[in-house]
Structure 1
Amino acid sequence: MSVTEDFTLILEKEREAKLIPLLQSLNKAQKKELVPELKRLYKTYSEYKQDRLGNFGRKGSKAQIQILVAASFVCCNRKDFEQLALFIDNRETFDKHLPWYRPDWFSDHVNHFAGNDFMPLYINYDWYMTMVEQGYVTLSPATIAKLLPNHLFSIRTVLNQTYLPQNLLTREVTLAQHIWYFFDHESYIHGADKHFNLPTVPAEGIWTHAFKKHSDEGTIDRQRLLKETLRASNSNFSQTLSGWFIALFMHLEPSKAELLNLQDQLLQVLNSPHSKPVNTVVKYLKDICDEKGFNVDAFLDHAPLLLASESKTAISTTLMAIDKLAKKYKDKAGTLMVIACQAFIHQDNNVQVRVAKLLQKYGDVTADELKTAVSAYQDALLFDARNLLSAFIEQREATQPAVDEATVQSQSPTGLVAIAYPQTFDELVYLASQAFDQNETYHFDLLPAALLRFQTEMTTENIGKLIPAFQRACKIISSDFTSTMGHLDNMLATFFTDYGRLLVEVYPDRTAALKLLRESFKEAFDKKELWGKYLSRLDNIKSWNRTLAYKTLRHVLLAAFFMLERKLQLPLLSTPTHQPCWVSPLALVQRLIEYQSAKVLPADVDFQVAVSRCSGEDHQEALILANEKLSGEYRQLISFLLGGEYYPRQTLKFKEVWLVAALTRNSPAPLNPQWFAYSSLPEEHLTGNFRWTSVVEPFTYKKWDYTTRKNVDTAAKRSKLIIEFGDKQAKPSLIKSLFTKLMPAKTAVPQSVYDWTTLPYRYIGVEDNDVKRLLFLNPNHPEVWLARIMGAALQSPDFESEAEKRLIINTLEALLTLNKPHGPMAHLLIASAMISSDKTVRAYAAELWISGISHNTINSQQIGEIIGIHQNIELTPFKRFTDLILSNLFQVSQTHNQALQTLLNACLGKLGDKPANGLKKLLEIYTEVLAAYKPVVIPAEVLVKFDVWEKVDSMGKIVGKVRLVGGVR
């Protein structure tokens, strides 16, 4: 029999006793011959199967798996062995075979786990040290640091574990050398310290107790331990591990004498990126700062960094230390007060008042250096601090800075940026190579437009240049989705591969290479069809029925493909001319002239998208050209789109296009409701004026009870934003019913792009990668899209998934890019995002408000009312909003301060009589906003609220302060 047959027989019969003689008899060639069979057998025997009782287990027995692993150890190289035996307990294999066979990679194999998050359970400290002592493994400090944390307990089962402190004394080298590796290498000592399943564990933790015990007994060097602990807390460890080391330092209870000897190490910890070590060390430095031998100058060098910290604990403790130093060192008081002024950068009333009182106590009002330091922060001073420091501040006239208007003007849009179209075939090739990467949203539109333009240049050479792009498209269709890929990327790839099929059919003599490429992907395409996923034909409607949201762009691509099939030399109407998605009126007129001259009707959906994307650029020039070159309905439609007045008529051919124009055109005249007759949708599904409510509702969920060992019903509350979409086919309003009679009898109302403006699925998949391109279908009127997006992803301000969060972030990014006046749904989105749980979402919402104030595209009154309605029921913690004001909205400019005052007036006016949690902080900020912008205007409804809130004990003082600043009684 062959070697393979001998081994297979041993495996099938589980004859472990015959395995070692067989393996010892193999030469190098025979081992190499056996490797492919080992891989095949391991795959077969390691598969999981279900028995008659419903239990799952490997097909092979434990003995068979061990035989396979042992043979792999002897015959395979390191890479193959690690792939086969990654999750197998290999200790038995190693113990049996190392005495006679030790590959040169074995030591590295064992030690390499120290660099991974995963450490096999069979590799423990005792076994590892045995391998080291027997010479099989070279000792690695990093591996010791990973293994030693679990050395103080044994694990028999999850519920049966034992605390074994005596293990540290088994080997002398453990305490003498190995424990110090913790301070140099990443480990899990913080997790092993308080093992949850060991009832005899000391309260402080098994490792914390061990270090303290052996330090007190002198078994380990206490001074070295203190220094190493401080150094480790400032090393490049995780936040949790760094925190554990500084907690160990605290548990060691260093004396003041020891702290003075450790000043250099303590000061170094102040540079830690983690707040816990910094806060702890600042406290120790504060305790010893007035002791003899304290290095005052070195501390003052670090004080500015501490005062700029985001940690209020570090700031407060540093100011206390400065107070103690100023009291003891009178000659340094001036320098100390100048340094203390740096804390004024924080928009926190308590911090600023504490600094102001320090300056009153120790500062010299005649010292120019101190007055200059205070003046540098004058615009950042809050009301209370400014009053306390009046003697240090030079009074300035309260005039509005002239720079504000100039700043606002400089931020206004100066014109749209034109999109560069491919001018040569090589530029088309470059576009095709990056169109599927989402580098620009308009690449989706640009690729089919460019193919239409260069369709007559499809020579053998040029088609060859497109082969890499065709290959990329085929891979996208046949592969799984990546993290940055959306349904639209798959759709565009399908369109492109369909065009490749068309080229093969039309030019068989030019497309030999392309035909071979398509044949190579045929099996992958067939597999996709078998699984019912996306097919390789764009015109297969079942491929894109996941949601109606994608139907519009699918129709645009079908229109392009229709013209490519018939070799029509016409452009798509909807292809953007300016970033990110705008079509200039002049370009739209020029394209319509081409269709009119060719006597070809434009594709209906393409026409609708083009009108919805029409910008205000080239407005007059487009009107002049339309009047000269266009005729009939084309000319009338352009005139209406750019400001003219027309009314619905039965004879109009492009009724859906007229509807889109009526809803998106830039005109001061109110929307004529007669146009609603051109759609079967309720009016709110066209205008986007949906009703909405915010609620905090009770609900129950299943929670595991460790006492009863079962799931029990648990009561809780959840916040929800509810947008009332109703029924799309609901009974129309009376006025719409009247105008519907204008339509021809027994003629169905055609569908428009608004019928497909929807995201009906509750759980978001990859829509976040598509949302910008969907929004850019209707940049002039995104309200319906925004309502649908909020209905899908912002039902909870705390977000239920990362995909929902990304969907909202990308939506806010798109609105920033458009820079258009915001409608009701946009205001609802921005206001709701301002109080959401995610910091990035709140920052984007703040940026939209700042930009909106600068460009006069947002209504602060409306934003404030929405937030007030939300917070009246405490939809989210008020702290989110107050933190956002201080960090992003306040003191942007005087114009923004005025708008912020309006926003807060509206917000306060919508709150209830019972003070919400966090209202006191909001009123403190409101005080500062009133003080920052004059004249102060407090609405009557807010003053009524003050009368009620003032009667609440905790609110009386702050309400009185607001009245004082506002000049009202």
Structure 2
Amino acid sequence: MKENLLSAIKAHDFNAIRTICFGLSQEERLKLKVFFLDTPITQMYDLPKSWAKNVPNDRIVMAYAFMCLSDQREEILHFERKNNICPWYAKGVFYDFLSTAFYPELLALIQAPQGAYLKEELPQMYVENAKYISFEMLWVLYKMDLIPFNEKLFVENFYHKNVSYREEPFFIDLLLQYPEIATQILAAAPKYIYTYLYDTEYILAMYHILAKNNYFTNRDIVKQYLQALLNPWKKNILNAYCRWIEAINPTADEVIENQYILFSILSLGNTALINFAMKQLQKAANASTFDFQSFADNFTLCFAIPKIAKSQLIGLDILEKYYKKQAPTNTKYREQLAVLFTVPEVILQEKVAGLLTTYFAEEGLAEVVAPYRDYLKIPTPVSLPQEEESLNKEAYQDNISSSFEERFPLEVGKLQVPTTADALLFLLGDCLRERTAGTIDLFFEGLIQLQERLPANYTKELAPYLKKLMKSHYLDSVTTIIKGFLYCYSHQKPLEIPPYQYTYEESNALREKLDEAAFEAYLLWGRLYNHKTFMPFLFHKAQLTLKYLNEKEVLPFLSTPTHEPFYIEAEIFVDKLLQYEAVNKQPDLHDLIVACNRLLFRNVSAAAKAKAQKLKGTYAPAIQYYLGITDKIQPTEELLPLWTQITRIKHPDREFPEFETTSAKEIPSVVKPYYIGYGWTKWRDRDIFTFHNYDIGYDEKSEKGYWIEHYRNSFSPLYYNACGGSTPLSTEVNYLLSLNPHYPDAILCGYIANNACGAEEIRNMQLPLEAILRYDLRMRHSGWLYIGACLLYDKRPSRDLAYEYILQALTRGEDLHYVGRYLSDALAMHFSPINRFVEFLDRPTRDPKVKAFQRKVVALYLEEVKKQEKLPRYHKKLAAFGD
């Protein structure tokens, strides 16, 4: 008998389980109870590691079998405690079977004489833990008058528990057996279901099945669900209600009855809701009671909403039907209709043009259409006046001229080092707020220059800033380094990271031993250890500042910007070098390299060149080459980072064989311009599209060099053109770009998102793009990959900014073949959705350079896509554009 029962349990045969248990003698029943209580479930037979959807697991079936054997609650509790059957949330429920959807099995057990003991226990169970009982069980118990009806509990459990069973036949049978569930449960959903909803496809399938069975005889549910759409709920909740209403399928009369609710939905600006409302209104548009004027007034609010072209076409069809019956009298409506020309759909534009020329052809129509001429994808519906050339065109071109010196004369935008202690204090506040080179570097410079004139208690004036920073532990790299500097400056300590880093367990032990101030200091060192890898120059400069203050050194930093936002005038730079030579001191190499990166090296004055010829240090040949005094490249091992920087910045496109025999020959950008590869690669048994450099130690087995950061850490951060080191948060990109503004390609490649969507924080694509537009920086080589990635990114602001940058580059006459090739490859290789590039093609412009670039990308795409086994989605749109 034991073997038969175990076989029935393993087969999940509830009928067999009941038959076997109910047919046992008292002695056999007692023996099986002992067996179940003394033998762990795992030793009865091998439990499967997984099971199919909507099939009860073995522990639940085992619990049900013991319920059939028992005749009192204490035995079941003992069995479940022994086998750990109760789920973690059960809180005293004496069997977890009631949390499942298998109500027929419970009903069969309760109705049998052997399960009658449960009728006394179930009401108590409900009081103890009602929220964890499934709706199916609740409804059966309610119908047996064992528990009261609780609308909130029943509705929430219906939509939140055992959702995957909602389309199962046995559950549908329960609903059809009790039609009052439609009014008591389904119609009450908007009262309680508005925060979260999972697995909505199962519930939607249930609605469709019920609708086919004419379950929704009480049609009040339509109005209740429609009213729910006016609530400011989450998108997935509103979408679910829309789908449920569509399954219920309101009639034309019901739409007319609720037309004003649907009109209100048109004004919400939610694309999914507008699409839903238009489909419903289309059913009743021909009814005599349809309020056309209210519809027309609310429809105008949809004209500027993107991605609802089909709904806008439905609305225009409704307008046209009514205009055929009665011509419009409000001529101002044509101004609103003309806004639809901004929608890049030919059929829709043709419909708008037809309405305007047929019903609004009065005088002045050409002036109404004129502002939208750049959006038109159809022949101009009316004769438009010749547009005069923009007066701002020359000014725009001047603003995007080729060099900083041409755009901003050196007399404009000068930066001043603070001259008083109070000014220095105010500048510290700017440093923490702006985190730019124009504030931070001037603060360090000001400390050095004013150190003899600062009050004796100046550290006390800095104390409020430090106190606030010490209470904040999760700061970015720039702020953390400033915090470390202020702490060391106030406590007269060098900025040196302890060589040993504590483990997590050791940190917890220190927390107990150290006082609050000492533990905060310990945390500071731990965070500085990490953040110095993101901003090595800033950390180094903070160390130098403390060193100079300790040594009473007043020589200026070479890298301090002289002109906004972070540039350095050549003559001032040479004067500083001569100051170092006058006292026979060697400038810091890192400081010298950053200064050269920021230098305005074009259009150098004759005075600056004359002074540069007086330089005698080992760096003199490099500086003279950089300023155009000589063309001879004379790299030395000591100054190799300096030489590689200035040669690439001065001649971005040139190859330098002079470095092929040096130790830096393998570093990107040294010999050849900075180019990295991209494409699909196998990684951990899956395909992934990535940006990497195939020539820099890429090893598929060890995965070294796979991500850009991997090979960046293999060389010194002094090689800024290759951006050695780790990539900081995108919120710090302003300072990072100031370290190499003339050749920022490698910096920006570090901010390319790993995927075509979803990047945040470190790879927030928008913030670096805002910075390069704000500072008017130029892409030279693989930096264009970043621009291309932004143009195809899933965030609209990034796409808009990338379009603006490309527009400026085309106006400057730059060659965009490289970014065009990337765009075509990314589209053809199924990395980026084609519809994002179609958005770029649809942007309003008559600029022949933009049009030529668009055609070039499409042509490259059509050439590349021939190599692919499968055509990308929306391929026809690009093919049509190519034709």
Q: What does residue 802 of structure 2 align with? A: 845
Q: What does residue 904 of structure 1 align with? A: 855
Quote the Cα distance in structure 2 between the aligned partners of 1:347 and 1:861.
26
CA drift of 1:209 comes to 10
Quote the Cα distance in structure 2 between the aligned partners of 1:239 and 1:254.
22
Is the Cα contact below 8 Å between 2:223 and 2:258 reproduced in 1? Answer: yes
- What SS is found at the alignment partner of 1:681? coil
CA drift of 1:773 comes to 3.0
Q: What does residue 300 of structure 1 align with? A: 296
- Return closer, same or farther for 1:725/1:609 CA change in 2, 3 Å cut-off: farther
- For residue 429 of structure 1, what is the amino acid of its counterpart? L
Alignment gaps of 5+ in structure 2: 1-87, 94-128, 139-149, 402-406, 496-513, 699-714
CA drift of 1:836 comes to 3.8
Is the Cα contact below 8 Å between 1:693 and 1:721 reproduced in 2? Answer: yes
1:615-626 superposed matches below 5 A: 615=600, 619-620=604-605, 623=608, 626=611
CA drift of 1:574 comes to 0.8
1:604-623 superposed matches below 5 A: 604-615=589-600, 619-620=604-605, 623=608
Instruction: After superposition, give the CA deviation of every residue in 1:258-317 in whole Å (9 maximum; x if it has no partner).
Output: 333333222112112322332222233333233223222222212322333221222121
Is the Cα contact below 8 Å between 1:574 and 1:583 reproduced in 2? Answer: yes
Is the Cα contact below 8 Å between 1:612 and 1:778 reproduced in 2? Answer: yes
The reply on whether 1:798 has 2:798 as its aligned counterpart is no
TM-score when normalising by structure 2: 0.67
Q: What does residue 393 of structure 1 align with? A: 383
Is the Cα contact below 8 Å between 1:584 and 1:617 reproduced in 2? Answer: no
Instruction: After superposition, give the CA deviation of every residue in 1:227-247 in whole Å (9 maximum; x if it has no partner).
Output: 433222122122222233334
The reply on whether 1:815 has 2:772 as its aligned counterpart is yes
CA drift of 1:606 comes to 0.7
- Return closer, same or farther for 1:257/1:870 CA change in 2, 3 Å cut-off: closer
Pick aligned residue for 2:834 from 870, 878, 893: 878
Q: What does residue 744 of structure 2 align with? A: 782
Q: What does residue 598 of structure 1 align with? A: 583
1:921-936 superposed matches below 5 A: 921-922=877-878, 924-925=880-881
- For residue 781 of structure 2, what is the amino acid of its counterpart? P
CA RMSD of superposed structures (Å):
4.9
Instruction: After superposition, give the CA deviation of every residue in 1:630-686 in whole Å (9 maximum; x if it has no partner).
Output: 666677655433222142458998565444333334x79967654676753337442
- Return closer, same or farther for 1:552/1:323 CA change in 2, 3 Å cut-off: same
Quote the Cα distance in structure 2 between the aligned partners of 1:319 and 1:897.
33
- For residue 898 of structure 1, what is the amino acid of its counterpart? K
- For residue 744 of structure 2, what is the amino acid of its counterpart? P
Is the Cα contact below 8 Å between 2:435 and 2:735 reproduced in 1? Answer: no
Instruction: After superposition, give the CA deviation of every residue in 1:443-477 in whole Å (9 maximum; x if it has no partner).
Output: 4433432322332245443221111233345445x
Quote the Cα distance in structure 2 between the aligned partners of 1:373 and 1:275.
27
Q: What does residue 694 of structure 2 align with? A: 724
- Return closer, same or farther for 1:426/1:346 CA change in 2, 3 Å cut-off: same
Pick aligned residue for 2:787 from 830, 848, 853: 830
1:355-754 superposed matches below 5 A: 355-358=352-355, 362-363=358-359, 367-382=362-377, 384-386=378-380, 389=381, 392-394=382-384, 396=386, 403-410=392-399, 413-415=407-409, 417-433=413-429, 435-437=431-433, 439-440=435-436, 442-475=438-471, 479=473, 481-482=474-475, 485-486=476-477, 488-502=478-492, 521-526=517-522, 533-534=526-527, 543=529, 547=533, 550-615=535-600, 619-620=604-605, 623=608, 626=611, 638-649=623-634, 656-665=641-650, 673-674=657-658, 680-682=664-666, 684-686=668-670, 689-696=673-680, 717-727=687-697, 753-754=718-719
Q: What does residue 324 of structure 2 align with? A: 327
- Return closer, same or farther for 1:913/1:305 CA change in 2, 3 Å cut-off: same
- What SS is found at the alignment partner of 2:492? helix
Quote the Cα distance in structure 1 between the aligned partners of 2:231 and 2:467.
48
Quote the Cα distance in structure 2 between the aligned partners of 1:844 and 1:454.
42
1:191-230 superposed matches below 5 A: 191=198, 202-204=206-208, 213=215, 216=217, 222-223=219-220, 225-230=221-226
- For residue 254 of structure 2, what is the amino acid of its counterpart? E
Quote the Cα distance in structure 1 between the aligned partners of 2:166 and 2:345.
49
Quote the Cα distance in structure 1 between the aligned partners of 2:315 and 2:459.
70
Is the Cα contact below 8 Å between 2:594 and 2:740 reproduced in 1? Answer: yes
CA drift of 1:920 comes to 3.9
- For residue 325 of structure 1, what is the amino acid of its counterpart? Y
Quote the Cα distance in structure 2 between the aligned partners of 1:567 and 1:467.
22
Instruction: After superposition, give the CA deviation of every residue in 1:761-804 in whole Å (9 maximum; x if it has no partner).
Output: 7xx7x5444444333222122234445x26xx45x442685345
Instruction: After superposition, give the CA deviation of every residue in 1:725-753 in whole Å (9 maximum; x if it has no partner).
Output: 4249xxxxxxxxxxxxxxxxxxxxx9781
- What SS is found at the alignment partner of 2:819? helix
Quote the Cα distance in structure 2 between the aligned partners of 1:244 and 1:897.
46
Is the Cα contact below 8 Å between 2:664 and 2:670 reproduced in 1? Answer: no
- What SS is found at the alignment partner of 1:695? strand
The reply on whether 1:291 has 2:282 as its aligned counterpart is no
Q: What does residue 315 of structure 2 align with? A: 318
Pick aligned residue for 2:820 from 839, 861, 864: 864
Is the Cα contact below 8 Å between 2:437 and 2:735 reproduced in 1? Answer: yes
Is the Cα contact below 8 Å between 1:869 and 1:907 reproduced in 2? Answer: no
Quote the Cα distance in structure 2 between the aligned partners of 1:467 and 1:209.
74
Quote the Cα distance in structure 1 between the aligned partners of 2:185 and 2:416.
64
- What SS is found at the alignment partner of 2:740? coil
Is the Cα contact below 8 Å between 2:562 and 2:568 reproduced in 1? Answer: yes
Quote the Cα distance in structure 1 between the aligned partners of 2:337 and 2:626.
62
Residues matched between the structures, number: 706
Quote the Cα distance in structure 2 between the aligned partners of 1:151 and 1:644.
82
Quote the Cα distance in structure 2 between the aligned partners of 1:189 and 1:782.
45
Is the Cα contact below 8 Å between 2:302 and 2:312 reproduced in 1? Answer: yes
- What SS is found at the alignment partner of 1:720? strand
CA drift of 1:568 comes to 0.5
Quote the Cα distance in structure 1 between the aligned partners of 2:175 and 2:442.
70
- For residue 693 of structure 2, what is the amino acid of its counterpart? I
- For residue 814 of structure 1, what is the amino acid of its counterpart? A
Q: What does residue 744 of structure 1 align with? A: none
- What SS is found at the alignment partner of 2:679? strand
CA drift of 1:910 comes to 6.3
Is the Cα contact below 8 Å between 2:766 and 2:798 reproduced in 1? Answer: yes
Percent identity over the alignment?
Answer: 17
Is the Cα contact below 8 Å between 2:580 and 2:587 reproduced in 1? Answer: yes
- For residue 850 of structure 1, what is the amino acid of its counterpart? L
Is the Cα contact below 8 Å between 2:656 and 2:672 reproduced in 1? Answer: no
